[in-house]
Amino acid sequence: MASSPFLSKTTISFSSSISTSLPWRSSHSSPSFSTAFRTKPRRRTLTVQSKIREIFMPALSSTMTEGKIVSWVKSEGDVLSKGESVVVVESDKADMDVETFYDGILAAIVVGEGETAPVGAAIGLLAETEEEVAEAKAKAKSASSDSPASSSPAAEAVTPTPPPATSTPAPAIAQPSPPATYTPKKTLAKQHKVDIASVVGSGPFGRITPADVEAAAGIAQPKKTVAAEPTPVSAAPPKPSAAPSASSAPLLPGSTVVPFTTMQAAVSKNMLESLSVPTFRVGYPISTDALDALYEKVKPKGVTMTALLAKAAALALAQHPVVNASCKDGKSFTYNSSINIAVAVAINGGLITPVLQDADKLDLYLLSQKWKELVEKARAKQLQPHEYSSGTFTLSNLGMFGVDRFDAILPPGQGAIMAVGASKPTVVADADGFFSVKSKMLVNVTADHRIVYGADLAAFLKTFAKIVENPESLTL
């Protein structure tokens, strides 16, 4: 459970200033003057504290932007004690209990089960006494009633009214008439026998314009037609909306639209981010006869093939730290101090990568026990953030499904990911030309080419193959 509190106290402060007027008098010798001079404006601050606290949607991981309420452990009106679980929240990777850090009464549930809320938003209200429960419910009701009102203008903004037909010209933009020959105002006054001294100017700063002279002569001015809105001769029918894009194409009959779950949305976001990383891939065939023999010996003790491969990868990474490095800003990279092997696990409705932390330092049996615990927590969606977001290298194994080769997508923030195929009997020839059948598996590694180069990856795979083909070091 995260250590930062998710409940914050709401404080409402009111302040008022009360000052006493200073009666000035002309005589400084008056005794009342000294009294008035010593009197200073007094500022009173009245503070009213509300004991209603908001339960916020917590940030359960560094990538979480919103959370979904799986279930409320407590109901409205229940008395809560500090440290009790109040609600179960689904993050992008796991379901986690959110505890209360205060004693009080769960006065109102703002976000119901199955609904989502952004990180930091209020999902419930906690009152300290029975008298404040009604106030908290009224506050929750007003907040919920304000939500639709605030969303309606946004909805209107999303679907603006289509513009009118273009057959009607814009009234403010009229075609200019042919330019008239300019006649000086004095010439006009002489022609029309107007005393220019008696003309009142309408131009800037009272300047007399030719139009003023013509008006004084009684010549009617033509009406401007700029503001006139001509009647369209034939109103064109409204243009049809643009052709729908591929994403908004009509569905096939019987199709069903299924929205992403929180986990699927997180996976989608990570996959899109990985497209911005320049990657390359290197494949390497490895003989697995010795590894298969070791697995048969340690399998009764609870050791899995995943644990063996994770241990072998960790030992190889210890000799090639650049493959365990990471680049996050595109300007520098980091040599990670720990070797944390993330292993891809398919769960109902998504994919998660539990992390075997310090895999190079744990012995094989402890590593297998740790892996079993992580898988159980992953299936129950109870992994803590550090148990799925601290990987420095990822291992994806589809060999158990009979897949002989595949490429894996590099997770954001990591330097490499290894895709392990199935071990299958393969006919091979030795240096003397003799044929034999050996079990081989093909591993493909996808790496960030900004920090890992081809020679680095080839050397790492050679070390990894040597460890797998001579696995005695895995049990040390």
Structure tokens at 240: 């049809």
270/407 Cα distance (integer angstroms): 16
29/311 Cα distance (integer angstroms): 96
Q: Closest Cα partner for 340 from 364, 314, 306, 316? A: 314
Structure tokens at 121: 């938003």
Instruction: Assess contact for 280 and 439: CB atoms under 8 A.
Output: no
Domains of the chain, with CATH numbers?
53-142 (2.40.50.100), 271-474 (3.30.559.10)
Q: What is the CB-side half-sphere exposure of residue 432 using CA atoms within 13 A?
A: 2
320 given a catalytic annotation: no
Instruction: Assess contact for 111 and 121: CB atoms under 8 A.
Output: yes
Q: What is the pLDDT of residues 183-204, one digit of tens each?
A: 455 666 666 677 777 777 776 5
Torsion 279-282-288-291 (CA) sign: negative
pTM of the model: 0.58
Phi, psi (rounded to 5 degrees) for 48:
-115, 120
Q: What is the pLDDT of residues 263-305, one digit of tens each?
A: 788 888 888 888 889 999 999 999 999 999 999 999 999 999 9
Q: What is the pLDDT of residues 14-67, one digit of tens each?
A: 333 333 344 444 444 444 444 444 545 555 444 445 577 888 888 776 667 788
Active-site residue (options: 28, 192, 386, 449): 449
Residue 172 has pLDDT above 90, yes or no: no
95/93 Cα distance (integer angstroms): 7
Q: At residue 166, what is the residue type?
A: T
Burial class of residue 287 in the structure, from the number of CB atoms within 10 Å of its CB (0-12 exposed, 13-18 middle, 19+ buried) = middle
